[in-house]
């Protein structure tokens, strides 16, 4: 990702009702050795944060539960408006992860266990690249038509392995291990298929366009998935 043409820092708007978590997010972003991101705005209300300097942030990090209410209903409208939403929550039950991903969220981060993936995920999302966290992987497994390799890669990701460990387990027919870059490709393709079969919204289009640009998926594959999705009502 170091060779990416996007070299300015990712601007993040954090919507979260606990100050201690906002402080934590600031600390994780500041601790990134490559200093890839910066907090543009933070607050406990979606409308207030987006009305201020957060209005043109690249990524919105949204705590799903604000003041005791679940914000699942807001994710679709934000995605339709072209915002890249990363949901950040303790509510990692598959039914909740699935509903926000279907609404058009770009990624889901488990508040308790996925701080290590935090910066990588928001930077990938800012560049419209597929980002899949372990908490998302479980839902993706059943949502799209995947190849065996893609399925295995997602399953191991869900189990908690990093790309290097997954690569060690996914051997080629010749017996040699695949590379971590190949694992990333499998997972990215699975994410693209999920987006292709999902709700037509601007965040999904942007992701698919970037995946085609990067050669991760071919345009004809997308129309294939769309028609498959239309045949099977949600």
Partner 1 sequence: MPDRPAASVAERYDRAGLLAAVVVMAGWHAGFLLPIVIATWLRYGPWASCAAVWLAYAATGTASAVVLLRGRGHGPALPLAACPVLLAGVVTGGLAQPAGFFGSPNWPFVTAAFFALVAMWRRGIAALSAFLAANAIAGLGVLIALGQTDRVSIARFVGLCGGGALPLTLFAGSKLVTAMAGRAASIREELASARVAEQAAEAVQEDRRSRYETIRGTVTGLLRGLADGQLDPAEPATRQRIAVAVSRLRRYLVETDDVPDPLSHELRACADAAERHGVAVDLAAPAGQVPHLPVEVRRALTEPIITVLAAAATRARVTVVASPDHVAVAILADASLTGADRDALASGPGGAAEVSVDEEGGLLWAQAQWTGARASP
> Which residues lie near partner 1 (CB under 8 A)?
90-94, 112-113, 134-135, 137-139, 141-142, 155, 158-161, 165, 168-169
Instruction: For the CB of residue 150, give the shortest distance to partner 1 in the complex, in Å.
Output: 14
Nearer to partner 1 (CB atom), residue 112 or residue 218? 112
Q: Is the dihedral of CA 58, 63, 67, 69 positive or negative?
A: positive
User: Toward partner 1, which CB reaches closer, 2 or 67?
Assistant: 67
Tokens describing residue 171 = 């051997």
Locus of tokens 């890669």: 153
**Least Cβ distance, residue 160 to partner 1 (angstroms):** 4
Beta carbon nearer to partner 1, 130 or 139: 139
Residue-wise DSSP of 127-183? TT-----HHHHHHHTTTS---HHHHHHHHHHHHT--HHHHHHHSB-TTSPBPPHHHH
CB of 155 to partner 1, least distance (A): 5
Between 92 and 197, whose beta carbon lies closer to partner 1?
92
Smallest separation, CB 36 to partner 1 (Å) = 26
Dig out the tokens for 233 from the structure: 């009502």
CA separation for the pair 20, 180 (Å, rounded): 35
């Amino acid at each position: 990702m170091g060779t990416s043409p996007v070299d300015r820092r990712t601007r993040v708007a954090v919507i979260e009702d606990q100050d201690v978590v906002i402080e934590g997010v600031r600390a994780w972003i500041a601790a990134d050795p490559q200093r890839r991101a910066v907090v543009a705005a933070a607050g406990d209300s979606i409308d207030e944060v987006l009305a201020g300097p957060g209005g043109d942030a690249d990524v919105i990090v949204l705590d799903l539960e604000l003041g005791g209410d679940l914000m699942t209903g807001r994710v679709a409208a934000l995605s339709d408006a072209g915002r890249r939403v990363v949901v950040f929550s303790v509510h990692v039950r598959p039914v909740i992860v699935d509903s926000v991903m279907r609404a058009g969220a770009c990624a889901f981060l488990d508040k308790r266990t996925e701080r290590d993936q935090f910066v990588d995920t928001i930077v990938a999302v800012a560049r419209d690249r597929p980002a899949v966290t372990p908490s998302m992987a479980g839902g993706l497994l059943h949502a799209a038509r995947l190849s065996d390799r893609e399925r295995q890669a997602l399953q191991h990701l869900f189990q908690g392995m990093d790309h290097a460990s997954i690569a060690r387990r996914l051997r080629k027919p010749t017996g040699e291990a695949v590379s971590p870059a190949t694992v990333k490709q499998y997972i990215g393709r699975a994410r693209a298929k999920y987006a292709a079969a999902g709700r037509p919204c601007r965040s999904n289009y942007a992701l698919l366009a970037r995946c085609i640009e990067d050669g991760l998926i071919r345009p004809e594959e997308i129309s294939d998935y769309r028609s498959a999705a239309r045949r099977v009502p949600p």
